[in-house]
Amino acid sequence: MSAPTDLTATQQIAAVRAGEMTSAELVDAHLARCEDDRWNSYLALNADAARARAREIDAMADKPPLAGVPIAVKDALVTRDLVTTSGSRMLEGFRPLYTATCVARLEEAGAIVVGKTNMDEFAMGSSTENSAYGPTLNPWDTGRVPGGSSGGSASAVAARQAPWSLGSDTGGSIRQPAALCGIVGMKPTYGAVSRYGLIAFASSLDQVGPFARTVADAALLLSYIEGRDPMDSTCVGLREPVCVPTATDLSGVRIGVVEELMGEGTDDGVRAAVREALDRAEHLGATLVPVELPNSRHGLSTYYILAPAECSANLARFDGIRYGHSSADTDNLTEHYERTRAEGFGAEVKRRIMLGTFALASGYYDAYYGQAQRVRTRIAEDFDRAFESVDLIASPTSPSVAFPLASRTDDPMHMYLSDTCTIPISLAGLPSVSIPCGLDAGMPVGLQLSGPAFSENRLFDAAHALEAAIGFDTAPPALEAAA
Amino acid sequence: MSARAYEAVIGIEIHAQLLTNTKMFCGCALSFGDEPNVHTCPVCLAHPGALPVTNAEAVRLAIIAGHALGCEIPERSTFHRKNYFYPDLPKAYQISQFDEPICGPGRFRYLTEGGEKELGITRAHLEEDAAKLIHVGGDGRRAGAEQSIVDFNRGGTPLLEIVTEPELSDAADAAAFLRQLRLTLVQLGITDGNMEQGSMRADANISIRPAGSTGLGTKTELKNMNSFTFIERGIQAEIARQTAILEAGGTITQETLHYDPVTGEIHSLRSKEEAHDYRYFPEPDLVSVAPDRAWVEELRASLPESPVDRRRRWVADSGLSFEDAEVLAETRELGDYFERVAAVAPAKSAANWVRGELRAQLRERGQEPWESNVTPAALGEIIAMAEAREVSMPNAKAVLAELIANGGDPRAIVEAKGLGAISDEGELEALVDRLIADNPAQVQQLRDGKDKVIGFFVGQAMKATQGRADPGRVGELLRERVRE
Ligand SMILES: [Zn+2]
């Protein structure tokens, strides 16, 4: 039998249920890998509580559905009494009063949180280099970034420090790191999963979603976190329960290919791997149809007005009055605000707060925020039109594979371009999954499949069929070499 | 130029705390006077990740208020964030409404001694209140305080902000409008309207312009006045201040002002230059409010008669005075009580008795009429007996006192206590004759034209009969006899 940490979550659950393994063994095995955290995947471990809970579950005759299987949780999700920082100095040592709805649901179902994962500060970034606690390294090549902002959740799953994890996606923060780390990452339809307890970056875009090493695990995880929540009125849940996918072919499925995202700006190796995956889709019975999303080219600029505008308000609560970093010995209120925020926030967060404050300022509102809202509607309409003639839309997840550390930190525009394939879908609020589809110079390439709102089951089925056909090995060779 | 050459243009903004059980966007209880910071949660303390959820009861109350203000209720209403930093605002934005308020334009009619008037309502919108800052040390004001502490119990209290059109020109009208608006909202259970505790607050926007012109002068905002009298005086003082400035050739500065009711002076709080850019934008954490139309209509149809309409009806149909109607409309219960008395007794007498004798007698017991032993039917009976002269007025009052103390049936009390008026003319005549014989000096005074002395005889007659004599008839008989 392979090491417990190599098993998928589904296999781990089955092993515990069959009495072949205990939750305590699983938790210990994963914690051992977490404690030796070469990739800086974790910001905090929950070792004692996790072990205690595992013993509790092992003692139960009637085990909860998730049977005490470990999970890693992005540090943007609050966990009661377990330090939650959102990757920021501002929340160093902060112990939340409550647990996010999605995490509470998983814990209730018998999942065990082993730790909180590293991330770009307040989820702002595409490389996890904006974390106040140092960058996360890519398990495929520790000289490269894991993507971001949920880089820690992606690297933890790729490095077998957890079988699955939760991330959050605002403009690509689940899909892009999943692609860069060679695993599955899924952003649900906006409103499918409660945001209660997700430390807000851009409220109208943020969605919590799963990372896993298989599509089936991702679907299983989503089935436990989706659903209405009285604490989040924007959360409506999915319209039908998530089915763990079983499809083996794609007959009758019309896949729209976004040619704009297959040309200039996308690396040749990425394009080649995605083309090959699309060929396999055709072999499985899918029809490929070119689609146009003419307004998607405005996605990046639209996103970089709306998201900063929302974040400028969302992050205003960090004022050093009630919790979090508070500057010492200031003389007056204004100075207290200024110093607290100057000390507590990193450069990228400050940049976006400034951008957003400007975009909302009286006299500029209509030209920036107002215009961006109108373009957002156009982008969504493009997708509506496309889905009249196709079932799914395919594109690369990221225009390039994982880039070397520090290669884009001085060039925000270049960094922002990492999310060019994922942002339009976020603006339209659609469900989207990234699956690994091949390698470019030894680094994983992600294929992004997106569908109409609430088409999660269709997406999972297609991704599952393709996953089997592609047969990607999610084990990073570097990991084997190191082991 | 004389002061009369200017006219004032006044608009009012009212903040009313809604009588919900819980806060606007979280489940914390609303309370007044509890230990600081006991009614708090991650939402109203703006902890990371917490989200607001709209209080459905606040929406219901706002729609009822909208109907009472004659407002349109739009199909869709949205929330906005109003951004500014202050320690009493934990999110550093207030969730309020901007271009899509819960209540659209309306008109509110109110009564003045000069007749009925109408004021345009621009809008009414929902928002959350800030927390309470307590300044410690110094003299308790912000400036000079050693420290400021925050009580978040009040933070997140649902508020309805009502904005009127700038259509008022008179401070007394502004006060009359506000009194009747308050009464309407209080009687509908929308707010407790307690101005001293700040559950209702009013600001006035004031400008003046040459009488007869249509342009608008520079306006100032008079903030947070907590009584109708202060509002009236404050507006008057501000109109006088602006008039004096213009007459001296000066210009009005747009600023926010405070009226000090003790000194009668007006102070500047901040000028326009210091005004915030609130950077309003749609609140992405809340879905829009789209109330079911049938339900909105149902709320409108089930609206009880407003105190203003009641007063109008009492004056027009029942012949009550402006003042009687005003007093009786003060609470829904008192108005209802009066109406039940008036159903069995003449309305004007009913008004007099309810307003006067009944409340006076109940005052020492700290009771309200509708809580007392005196049923409206029983009071109506007493009034009917008094009007028919079956009991004298003093004895009618005595019957009322007995009812208040022990309850019962007025007629039975009159019987049992022998309080019925003397209906035998012969008995009264004999009494008057005896009084004349016993008091020659007073009889002489009466003969000399000193009519006041009749009171003496009436008093003697009442004393002799334990109040059963009809004082009017005693006077008449006395005059007849003495003249003879
Ligand atoms: Zn609360």
B93–A360 C-beta distance less than 8 A: no
Rounded to a whole number of angstroms, the CA Rg of chain B reads 30
| Predicted pLDDT of residue A1 | 46
- Look up the CATH number of the domain holding residue A477: 3.90.1300.10
Number of helices (H), then strands (E), belonging to chain B: the values are: 16, 13
- Among the listed residues A88, A149, A150, A450, the single catalytic one is A149
Q: Give the range among A53-57, A195-199, B353-357 with minimum mean pLDDT.
A: B353-357
Distance of CA A416 from the midpoint of ligand 1 (Å): 37
Predicted confidence at residue B3, as pLDDT, reads 44
Mutate one of A314, A364, A368, A371 to test the B interface: name it (highest B CB count within 10 A).
A314
A312 is known as an active-site residue: no
E strands, A126-238, where? 164-169, 184-187, 207-212
Provide the pLDDT for residue B484: 61
- pLDDT tens-place string over residues A70-116: 999 999 999 999 999 999 999 999 999 999 999 999 999 999 999 99
Domain-located, residue A259: no
Q: Identify the weakest region by mean pLDDT among A105-119, A298-312, B81-95, B412-426.
A: B412-426
Q: What is the pLDDT of residues B98-130, one digit of tens each?
A: 999 999 999 999 999 888 999 999 999 999 999
**Stretch 38-77 of chain B: residues touching chain A, C-beta under 8 Å:** 42, 45-54
Q: How many CB atoms lie within 10 A of CB B263?
A: 8
Q: What's the confidence (pLDDT) of residue B67?
A: 98
State the pLDDT confidence band at A26, using cuts at 50, 70 and 90: very high
Bridge partners of B246, per DSSP, are none
Dist. CA A192 → ligand 1 center (Å): 25
The active-site residue, picked from A173, A395, A398, A418, is A173
Fold adopted by B425-483: Arc Repressor Mutant, subunit A (1.10.10)
A207 class by beta-carbon count within 10 Å (0-12 exposed, 13-18 middle, 19+ buried): buried
Q: B159 phi and psi, to 5 degrees?
A: -125, 145
| Lowest mean per-residue pLDDT among A23-27, B276-280, B455-459 | B455-459
**Directed axis angle between helix A9-17 and helix A23-35, to 10°?**
140
- For A113, the enclosing helix (H) or strand (E) is strand A112-117
* Chain segment B202-219, per-residue pLDDT in tens: 999 999 999 989 889 999
Output the pLDDT for position B2.
47
B158 strand-pairing partners? B128
What is the percentage of chain B residues whose pLDDT exceeds 70?
Answer: 97
Quote the domain boundaries for residue A210: 4-247+470-482
pLDDT confidence band for B394 (50 / 70 / 90): confident
The residue whose two tokens read 């470019």 is A440
Distance CA A454, CA A452 (A): 6
User: pLDDT confidence of B258, banded at 50, 70, 90?
Assistant: very high
Question: What pLDDT was estimated at residue A219?
Answer: 98
Gap from A362 CA to chain B (nearest CA, Å):
6
pLDDT at B80 over 80: yes
A41 is annotated as an active-site residue: no
Q: Name the band, by pLDDT with cuts 50, 70 and 90, for residue B4.
A: low
- Does A309 sit within 8 Å of B48, measured CB to CB? no
Amino acid B106: pLDDT:
97
Describe chain B by its helix, strand, coil percentages, rounded to 5.
Answer: 40, 20, 40
Q: How many residues does chain B have?
A: 484
Q: How far apart are CA A290 and CA A334, in angstroms?
A: 55
Contact present, A160 and A6 (Cβ < 8 Å): yes
What pLDDT, on a 0 to 100 scale, did the predictor assign at position A483?
52
What is the domain partition of chain B in residue ranges? Answer: 3-295, 305-417, 425-483
Q: Is the Cβ pair A316, B287 closer than 8 Å?
A: no
What was the ipTM of the complex prediction?
0.96
Does the annotation mark A149 as catalytic? yes
A35 belongs to a structural domain: yes
Answer whether residue B273 shows pLDDT above 80. Answer: no
Instruction: Find, among A114, A149, A139, A100, the residue nearest to A44 by Cα.
Output: A114
Q: What mean pLDDT do residues B246-259 have?
A: 93
- For residue A69, what pLDDT band results from cuts at 50, 70 and 90? very high
- Pick B285's closest partner by Cβ from A78, A100, A203: A203
In total, the C-beta contacts within 8 angstroms joining chain A to chain B are 101
pLDDT surpasses 90 at B467: no
How does DSSP assign A82-103, residue by residue? B---TT-GGGTT---SS--HHH
Number of domains present in the structure of chain A: 1
Quote the percentage of chain A above a pLDDT of 70: 99
Quote the pLDDT of residue B252.
Answer: 94
Window 259-278 of B: residues touching A by CB (8 A cutoff) are 277
- Say yes or no for a CB contact (<8 Å) between B48 and A98: no
Distance, CA of A185 to CA of A460 (rounded, Å): 11
pLDDT (tens digit per residue) in A434-447: 999 999 999 999 99
DSSP-derived 3-state class of residue A234: coil
In the DSSP assignment, the letter for residue B48 is T
Residue A111 in tokens: 């999942």
Q: Write the CB contacts of B59 (distance below 8 Å, at least 6 apart in sequence).
A: B102, B126, B289, B291
Residues of A with CB under 8 A from a CB of B: 77-78, 84, 86, 91, 94, 96-98, 100, 195-200, 202-204, 230-234, 309-310, 312-313, 316-317, 319, 321-323, 333, 337, 357, 360-362, 365, 369
- Min mean pLDDT across A220-229, A389-398, A463-472, B411-420 is at B411-420
Q: What is the pTM of this model?
A: 0.91
Q: Given the DSSP bridges, would you call strands A42-45 and A112-117 parallel, antiparallel or unpaired?
A: antiparallel
Phi-psi region of B78 (alpha: psi -120 to 50; beta: other; left: phi over 0): beta
* B87 neighbourhood in chain A, CB within 8 Å: 319, 321, 333
Considering A23, A74, A127, A155, which one is annotated as catalytic?
A74
- Give CA–CA dist A273/B340, Å, rounded: 87
Query: Taking 50 as the threshold, does the pLDDT of residue B200 lie above it?
Result: yes
Q: How confident is the model at residue B478 (pLDDT cuts 50, 70, 90)?
A: confident
> How many angstroms is it from A230 CA to the middle of ligand 1?
14
Crossing angle of helices B425-438 and B454-465, rounded to 10°: 120
Q: Can the peptide bond before residue A400 be classed as cis, meaning omega within 30 degrees of 0?
A: no
Asked, for residue A330, whether it belongs to a domain, the answer is no
* Dist. CA B29 → ligand 1 center (Å): 8
Round to whole Å and give the CA distance between B317 and B312: 8
Pick from A132-141, A454-463, B26-35: least confident: B26-35
Which residues in chain A are contacts of B42 at CB distance < 8 A?
A: 96-98
pLDDT above 70 for A225: yes
Within a domain: residue A206? yes
Contact between chains at A360 and B150 (C-beta distance less than 8 A): no
Per-residue CA distances from A428 to A302, A312, A475, B100, B431 (Å) = 12, 21, 33, 24, 101
Q: Does residue A347 lie in a domain region?
A: no
Could B85 and A232 be called an inter-chain contact, meaning their C-beta atoms sit closer than 8 Å? Answer: no
What lies within 8 Å, CB to CB, of B29 at 6+ separation is: B21, B22, B23, B39
